[in-house]
Amino acid sequence: MNSKFTTVLLGGAALILAATGMARAEDQLDPETKARVDRFEKGPATIDVSQYPDGIKDNYETFSQKCSQCHKLSRPINSDYALPDEWSRYIKRMMHKPGSGISSAEGKKIYEFLTYDSSVRKKAMLDEKLAKATPEDKTTAETKVKEVHDKYDKK
Ligand code: HEC
């Protein structure tokens, strides 16, 4: 076989493999996770942040850019997660995925956005989770929510 042709063929194959890499990560989800993320993605894909403080609005931009690269933004928006520690865990998990390109400064902004947003838009869900938590976990979570509000709410 002509070597130029082989190079083109191999290059093409590599491109196809790279392109399907992202899709494959999704295809390999276990049925339970697949059903859960499908349910999350059925909801709205944007959040009305018009009433949020300016800094949180800025963090929403980071969140919407970085967290919609591999799946719909509606996945995190409509997820069952609301506690600060749930968000730090999932953000870290997403940051570790190959090619996510999320710096630790961006991860922090996204954490602050999702913690703030959960305390407003998902308040009922957050309260329900806090009611089920141990007294110690409840205090930890409330402290973390308060830290974000103290940093961003107008005094
Ligand atoms: C590099 C690709 C990639 C990026 C970037 C990414 N995700 Fe994901 N995300 C995935 C994959 C793959 C899954 C499904 C498998 C899993 O949960 O690990 C997923 C699943 C999720 C889930 C559902 C978890 C569950 O099992 O219930 C949430 C919530 C989520 N992502 C939030 C985010 C947030 C928030 C960001 C931005 C910080 C983000 N994702 C950025 C690839 C990505």
Q: What is the pLDDT of residues 81-132, one digit of tens each?
A: 999 999 999 999 999 999 999 999 999 999 999 999 999 999 999 999 999 9
Tokens, residue 143: 């402290």
Task: Indicate whether residue 143 lines ligand 1 (CB < 6 A).
Answer: no
Best mutation site among 22, 68, 78, 94 for ligand 1, i.e. most ligand atoms within 8 A of its Cβ? 94
Atom of ligand 1 nearest to the CA of 114: 35
Report how far residue 69's alpha carbon sits from residue 141's, in angstroms, rounded to the nearest whole number.
29
Atom of ligand 1 nearest to the CA of 101: 5
How many A from CA of 117 to the centre of ligand 1? Answer: 18
Task: Give the amino acid at 118.
Answer: S
Per-residue pLDDT tens over the stretch 25-52: 777 899 999 999 999 999 999 999 999 9
pLDDT at residue 26 in the model: 73
**Of 68, 61, 42, 147, the residue nearest 110 (C-alpha):** 61
Task: Indicate whether residue 118 lines ligand 1 (CB < 6 A).
Answer: no
Report how far residue 151's alpha carbon sits from residue 91's, in angstroms, rounded to the nearest whole number.
20
Tokens, residue 111: 């954490």
Q: What confidence tier does 153 reach under pLDDT thresholds 50, 70, 90?
A: very high
Task: Indicate whether residue 99 lines ligand 1 (CB < 6 A).
Answer: yes
Report how far residue 128's alpha carbon sits from residue 101's, in angstroms, rounded to the nearest whole number.
33
Atom of ligand 1 nearest to the CA of 26: 12
- Regarding predicted confidence, which is higher, 8 or 152? 152
- Regarding predicted confidence, which is higher, 62 or 8? 62
Report how far residue 31's alpha carbon sits from residue 43's, in angstroms, rounded to the nearest whole number.
20
CB-based contacts of 97: which residues, under 8 Å, 6+ apart?
25, 70
Task: Indicate whether residue 70 lines ligand 1 (CB < 6 A).
Answer: yes
What Cα–Cα distance (Å) separates residue 105 from each residue in 41, 43, 91, 109, 110?
Answer: 26, 28, 12, 6, 9
Lowest mean pLDDT among 5-9, 78-82, 101-105, 139-143: 5-9
